[in-house]
Amino acid sequence: MNRDRILSQMASRNPLRTPMQHSVSRRKFMQGLAAGAAAAGLPRAAAAQSRPLSLLTWDAYADPRLLALWKEQTGGDIRYEIHISDPSSVNRLRAGETAVWDFINVNNPWARGEMWPAGLIRELPRDRFEPLYAQMKPKFAAPYPWAMSEDGNHLLGVVQRYETFDFVVNSDVISPQLAKDEGWDLFNNPDFSGRYGILAYEDWNVMDICMGAGVHPFKVKTDEEVARFEETAKRWIQNAKLITTDFVQLNLAILNGEIDLYFTGGTYTTAAARLEGVENLYAITPNSGPADGKGGINWIEINSAVNNPDPLDAALDFLEFITTPDAAEIVARGNGNFQPVAQMANPELMSRFSTEELAAIQWDEFDERIANAVEFDIVPDYDRLYDIYSAAMRARG
């Protein structure tokens, strides 16, 4: 039974390994402090040799098989910590943890927009890394803007996982075709008031609310557009049945019939459950929307080398390693989830995935969804919109 599968998924889940923003954060912070203190306590030379490669990462890159493969190929040890969120990890680097970490992976805007200008990551040698882009899906052809600094002169990372991330419906209640056609207006429809949830990945929520308000999220807003955003934000947040940072809760709420759809979501939140046979959890990318006619948003994970004052060569080796078919396969299946990777252009890699796995990520629609989506970008007026969004959250109760 579907519900049992989700429940077992929930039960077996280690909360330290899922992106959650609450209680675990303090422990993680302490771990970070301890790591920082340990690193600071070592003499420089000794540290350079004995320090394991340190990853601040989403969970796919902490898959034990990946770490074992790295150890097998290089003999090197890896220490890792799983993100709580993009901004919290960027905060940690800002707070001085560049001395702790060697590798960080976050969504595309953060590398170019925040970490590079703040000097938190270092540039990659283009001659070594640009050839890797040639083996990826054509959209990533070098120079791929999101992997570059604003001025286009510096290569900031390696692209790997990518996906559209919009909303999820219960396909038994709302047909996928209808959902794609209706797009974000589903959440404007009074019939679904109190029937949807919000996954509080807050930067995503802000973009989605833009889409629902008919505003291009990545263009400068007029006051009239901001007013529309505000009206939509208040209404959407007020009418949400539940808001959580845990997508398993939202999937369960769909299965329990509490809600029929939720944003933000995509194969990232549904693939594992779909692989278990819960096929009525269906990721939707709208066919159209206000962003140059598109309604979907496409995230691209950028893997970067942290600007550690004591840089490890292994950091660059690791960035190259993850693009090899063996490693890319593990990343795609990282920790029980399943995500498309840029290296799927490689037929050898593609052949390793089963029909069921590809169905779980709705692979038959993948190119269509990417085509219907704009790339995750910096939101101009983000601070203003975010303040409106968070005020609406506070006003909810």
Partner 1 sequence: MRRNPGLWYALPLIVAMLLFFAAPMVIVVWYSLMPPRSFALTTDIGLQNYRSAFADGYGRPLMWSLLGAALTTLITAVLAWPTAKILHRHTGRWASLVTALIALPIFISESVRLFGLSVFLMPGGGILAGTLNALFDVQIGTILNTRLAALVGMIYIHFPFMLFPLLLGVAMIPADRIEAARDLGASSWAVLREVELPLAAPGLLVGGLLTFVLCLGANAEAAILGGRAVTVITATIEQRFNYAQDWPMGAALTVLVIVVTAALVFPAVRRIDLNRMLRR
User: Applying CB under 8 A, does 94 fall inside the site for partner 1?
Assistant: yes
CA angle 142, 80, 94 (to 5 degrees): 70
Cβ-based nearer residue to partner 1, 172 or 387: 387
From residue 2 to residue 31, the character string flagging contacts with partner 1 as x (rule: CB under 8 A) and all else as - is -x---x--xx---x----xxxxxx------
User: Applying CB under 8 A, does 352 fall inside the site for partner 1?
Assistant: no
String of b and e for 8-20 (b: at least 16 CB within 10 Å)?
ebeeeeeeeebbb
User: Applying CB under 8 A, does 276 fall inside the site for partner 1?
Assistant: no
Cβ-based nearer residue to partner 1, 113 or 340: 113
Cβ 35 to partner 1 shortest distance, Å: 17
Q: Among 65-73, 150-158, 215-223, 380-388, which window interacts with partner 1 (CB under 8 A)?
A: 380-388
Pair of tokens at residue 78: 């890896």
Cβ-based nearer residue to partner 1, 95 or 178: 95
**Binds partner 1 by CB under 8 A, chosen from 53, 186, 200, 207:** 200
Cβ 82 to partner 1 shortest distance, Å: 14
**Binds partner 1 by CB under 8 A, chosen from 39, 243, 359, 378:** 243
Cβ 334 to partner 1 shortest distance, Å: 21
Residue whose pair of structure tokens reads 């799983």 in the numeric block = 82
User: Applying CB under 8 A, does 202 fall inside the site for partner 1?
Assistant: yes
Kindly tell me the burial class for residue 134, based on how many C-beta atoms sit within 10 Å of its own C-beta (0-12, 13-18, 19 or more).
exposed
The 3-state secondary structure of 315-361 reads HHHHHHHCCCHHHHHHHHCHHHCCCCEHHHHCHHHHCCCCHHHHHHC
Q: What are phi and psi of 51, to 5 degrees?
A: -70, 125
Pair of tokens at residue 80: 């890792």
Cβ-based nearer residue to partner 1, 2 or 135: 2
Alpha-carbon distance 318 to 71, whole Å?
A: 11
User: Applying CB under 8 A, does 238 fall inside the site for partner 1?
Assistant: no
**Binds partner 1 by CB under 8 A, chosen from 65, 126, 139, 241:** 241
Q: Which residues contact 194 (CB under 8 A, 6 or more apart)?
A: 239, 240, 241
Q: Among 74-82, 198-206, 272-280, 305-313, which window interacts with partner 1 (CB under 8 A)?
A: 198-206
**Binds partner 1 by CB under 8 A, chosen from 244, 320, 352, 378:** 244
**Binds partner 1 by CB under 8 A, chosen from 117, 257, 277, 293:** 257
Alpha-carbon distance 233 to 254, whole Å?
A: 22
Pair of tokens at residue 359: 């169905």
CB 220 within 8 A of CB 210: no
Cα-Cα-Cα-Cα torsion 66, 304, 351, 271, nearest 10 degrees, comes to 80
DSSP, res 97: G
Q: What is the DSSP string of 145-194?
A: GGGB-TTS--B--EEEEEEEEEEEEETTTS-HHHHHHHTTHHHH-GGGTT
User: Applying CB under 8 A, does 245 fall inside the site for partner 1?
Assistant: yes
Cβ-based nearer residue to partner 1, 183 or 217: 217
User: Applying CB under 8 A, does 172 fall inside the site for partner 1?
Assistant: no
Q: Which residues bind partner 1 (CB under 8 A)?
A: 3, 7, 10-11, 15, 20-25, 85, 87-88, 90-91, 94, 114, 118, 197-198, 200, 202-203, 240-246, 249, 252-253, 255-258, 383, 386-387, 390-391, 393-397
